[in-house]
RNA sequence: GUGGGCGUAGCUCAGCUGGUAGAGCGCCUGGUUGUGGUCCAGGAGGUCGCGGGUUCAAGCCCCGUCGUUCACCCCA
């Protein structure tokens, strides 16, 4: 069999990289749970009609069918989910009678999209979502809470600083109605292209496709330009002189989110009111979020979310929600591939017990067991090679300590192969420094890389 | 789906106007006979993505194909 080539869009990590990914998900999980979010996993597949509803028609869903199905058959009618929000909404409806509301959950899981892969964009990827869902009414303070929890979670990760851009659908829709736009939804999708097209181009689209006149288009761009890290955006919006009830509501909500997030601002995280933000998905009804990673603006948003008041509804009861998701693969894989993030070991082992000869393997095994019993990850050398080879075996894998049974007059010795220090040691009492118990994440900044 | 770039050793890549396949790193052995990293000497490893064409001769030119990558689209 010839060497298989990688499948584009289906990233697979090396052990040292996988350790980083696991460490990141562990930390996310810890933060989410500290805030009382329960873990949830939903099945990988959903019925196609679930996946394709709610303005998701453009999604490139991977459809399931059985290999031996009659040709021309209708398939199974199931597809792989492409995000975690839609399956969650379905799950809430299905289990509404057994859940306590407001229900908060986190979900760290894979999703699939059949789109063309690019850096940070994959066909199979992992994301971390938090959502809060209530029955009938979801108090607004949850909009603030999900933002704060995600901010806290991301600040704790060994990643570049993040920026959370926030806007409010009511605000911009109210504004567009206030200036007399015939179809606010169209205006939203056009304004959303501002980060890709020059302003003049967007202005022309607003006139040609949005049905606005020049003055209205100018107003829209003026609104989109507004950005602030505090509540000052509100005055600048009001200065534009547009009046609409929905606009006022949106301004109040966005101001509330900004106020609520003040304390999470810092070196590692910044919350920005950004009035150009719209998001393509049409199920968002109020607050919308997008996350950006400093220095990686080319990846576009690495997370996003918002409030969806009507995504989950069984006809009688609606379950409004608000949530935010973070792209684990999207952020981690580019950093890992560029070598900006890694770990100092490819194995969990902190200690390699050397093997003098095959006959003494039980002795080495016994030492390893005593270390493991005290929580020290330990492996025994694969072969009784010359000790130089065994040290090199450890060195290649990043294992910091090599244990020599009966090295000094029958006393065991342990060597820190980084410093070369070798000391007498007892497997019943010796411990590595805490920082050596598990692999460590190694962060290289872009600047260091260039030097 | 549309358009461009790129497929040569495990990895990163070089290979001139077409003339018998190269480097660095890594790997293996020895120097160093239970203590690695440095150094020295030696060694293994290639259907040049695949198929066809042009030519005395193709890694190089042409066509096709597959893979990969970037952009559009869309988004985590």
**Per-domain residue ranges of chain A:** 15-342, 351-442
Distance A357 CA to B11 C1' (A): 34
User: Which bases of chain B are contacted by protein, using any atom under 7 A from a CB?
Assistant: 1-2, 27, 29, 32-37, 47, 67-76
**Domain A351-442 fold:** Rossmann fold (3.40.50)
Question: Which of A59-63, A161-165, A320-324, A445-449 is predicted with the least confidence, judged by mean pLDDT?
Answer: A445-449
Give me the mean pLDDT over the A55-81 stretch.
69
Confidence of residue A2 (pLDDT cuts 50, 70, 90): low
Confidence of residue A1 (pLDDT cuts 50, 70, 90): very low
Q: Is the minimum distance from the CB of A4 to strand B below 7 Å? A: no
Sorting pLDDT into bands at 50, 70 and 90, what band is A58? low
Determine if strand B comes within 7 Å of the CB of A193: yes
For residue A157, the SS3 value is: coil
d(CA A350, CA A398): 9
Any strand B atom closer than 7 Å to A296 CB = no
Q: Is the pLDDT of residue A313 over 50?
A: yes
Distance CA A67, CA A20 (A): 36
A279 touches strand B (CB under 7 A): yes
Domain A15-342 is found in CATH 3.30.930.10: yes
Query: pLDDT by residue (tens digit) across A220-233?
Result: 999 998 999 999 99
CA of A333 to C1' of B62 (A): 39
Q: Global pTM?
A: 0.90
By CB atoms closer than 10 A (0-12, 13-18, 19+), residue A335 is buried
User: For strand B, which residues in window 108-137 of chain A come within 7 Å by CB?
Assistant: 113, 115-122, 125, 127
pLDDT at A74: 57
Please report the ipTM that was assigned to this predicted complex: 0.83
Average pLDDT of the segment spanning A41-68? 76
Expressed in percent and rounded to 5, the helix, strand and coil fractions of chain A are 40, 25, 40
Q: Among all strands, which nt has the closest C1' to A59 (CA)?
A: B74
A245 CA, B55 C1': separation in Å?
79
Distance of A116 CA from B3 C1′ (whole Å) = 14
Strand A401-408 to A351-353 pairing: parallel
CA of A59 to C1' of B51 (A): 36
What is the CB neighbour count within 10 angstroms for residue A326? Answer: 24
Q: Å from A222 (CA) to B55 (C1')?
A: 66
Q: Give the per-residue pLDDT at A37.
A: 97
Give tens-digit pLDDT for A142-173. Answer: 999 999 999 999 999 999 999 999 999 999 99
Residue A9: nearest nucleotide (C-alpha to C1'): B68
Distance A357 CA to B32 C1' (A): 20
- pLDDT bracket for residue A3 (50, 70, 90): low
State pLDDT tens for residues A116-131.
888 888 889 999 999 9
* CA atoms of A228 and A273, how far apart (whole Å): 5
pLDDT band at residue A57, thresholds of 50, 70 and 90?
Answer: very low
Is residue A236's pLDDT more than 90?
yes
Task: Look over chain A and give the mean of its residue pLDDT values, rounded to a whole number.
Answer: 88
How many angstroms separate the CA of A428 from the C1' of B70?
57
Q: How far is the CA of A188 from the C1' of B6 (A)?
A: 39
A247-289 pLDDT, tens digit per residue, is: 999 999 999 999 999 999 999 999 999 998 877 667 889 999 9
Instruction: Collapse the DSSP code of A277 into the 3-class scheme (helix H, G, I; strand E, B; otherwise coil) and give the result.
Output: coil
**Is the fold of A15-342 the same as that of A351-442?**
no
Q: In this predicted structure, which of A68-77, A87-96, A196-205, A380-389 has the lowest mean pLDDT?
A: A68-77
| Lookup: nucleotide whose C1' is closest to A112 CA | B76
Nucleotide nearest A354 (Cα, C1') = B34
Nucleic strand B under 7 Å from the C-beta of A104: no
Type and span of the H or E element at A75 = none
Q: Which of residues 12-31 of A touch strand B (CB under 7 A)?
A: none
Question: Are β-strands A422-424 and A411-416 bridged in parallel, bridged antiparallel, or unpaired?
Answer: antiparallel
Q: Could you report the per-residue pLDDT of A367-422, keeping only the tens digit for each?
A: 999 999 999 999 999 888 889 989 999 998 999 999 999 876 788 999 999 988 99
> pLDDT confidence of A84, banded at 50, 70, 90?
very high
Strand, coil or helix: what is A420? coil
């Amino acid at each position: 069999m010839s060497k298989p080539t990688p499948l584009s869009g289906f990233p697979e990590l090396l052990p040292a990289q996988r350790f980083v990914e696991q460490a990141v998900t562990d930390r996310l999980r810890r933060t989410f749970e500290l805030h009382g979010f329960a873990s949830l996993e939903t099945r990988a597949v959903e019925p196609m009609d679930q996946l394709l509803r709610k303005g998701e028609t453009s999604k490139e869903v991977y459809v399931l069918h059985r290999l031996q199905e009659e040709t021309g058959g209708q398939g199974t009618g199931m597809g792989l989910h492409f995000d975690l929000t839609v399956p969650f909404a379905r799950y809430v409806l299905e289990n509404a009678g057994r859940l306590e509301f407001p229900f908060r959950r986190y979900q760290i899981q894979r999703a699939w999209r059949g789109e063309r892969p690019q850096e940070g964009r994959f066909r199979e990827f992992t994301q971390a979502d938090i959502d809060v869902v209530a029955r009938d009414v979801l108090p607004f303070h949850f909009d603030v809470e999900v933002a704060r929890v995600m901010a806290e979670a991301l600040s704790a990760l060994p990643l570049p600083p993040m920026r959370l851009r926030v806007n409010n659908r009511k605000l911009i829709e109210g504004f567009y109605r206030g200036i007399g736009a015939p179809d606010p939804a169209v205006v939203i999708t056009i304004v959303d292209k501002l980060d890709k097209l020059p302003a003049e181009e967007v202005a022309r689209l607003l006139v040609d496709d949005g049905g606005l006149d020049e003055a209205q288009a100018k107003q829209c761009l003026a609104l989109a330009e507004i950005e602030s890290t505090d509540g000052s955006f509100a005055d600048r919006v009001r200065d534009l002189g547009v009046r609409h009830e929905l606009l006022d509501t949106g301004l109040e909500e966005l101001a509330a989110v900004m106020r609520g997030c003040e304390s999470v601002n810092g070196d590692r995280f910044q919350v920005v009111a950004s009035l150009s933000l719209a998001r393509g998905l049409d199920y968002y009804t109020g607050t919308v979020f997008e996350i950006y990673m400093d220095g990686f603006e080319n990846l576009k948003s690495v997370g996003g979310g918002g409030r969806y008041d009507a995504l989950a509804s069984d006809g009688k009861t609606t379950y409004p929600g608000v949530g935010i998701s973070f792209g684990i693969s999207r952020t981690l894989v580019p950093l890992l591939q560029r070598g900006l993030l890694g770990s100092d070991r490819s194995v969990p082992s902190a200690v390699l017990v050397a093997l003098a000869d095959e006959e003494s393997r039980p002795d080495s095994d016994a030492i390893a067991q005593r270390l493991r019993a005290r929580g020290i990850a330990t492996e025994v050398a694969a072969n009784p090679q010359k000790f130089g080879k065994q040290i090199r075996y450890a060195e290649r894998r990043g294992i910091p300590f090599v244990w020599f049974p009966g090295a000094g007059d029958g006393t065991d010795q342990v060597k820190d192969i980084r410093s070369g220090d070798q000391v007498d040691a007892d497997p019943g009492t010796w411990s590595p420094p805490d920082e050596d118990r598990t692999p460590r994440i190694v962060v290289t900044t872009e600047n260091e890389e260039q030097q």
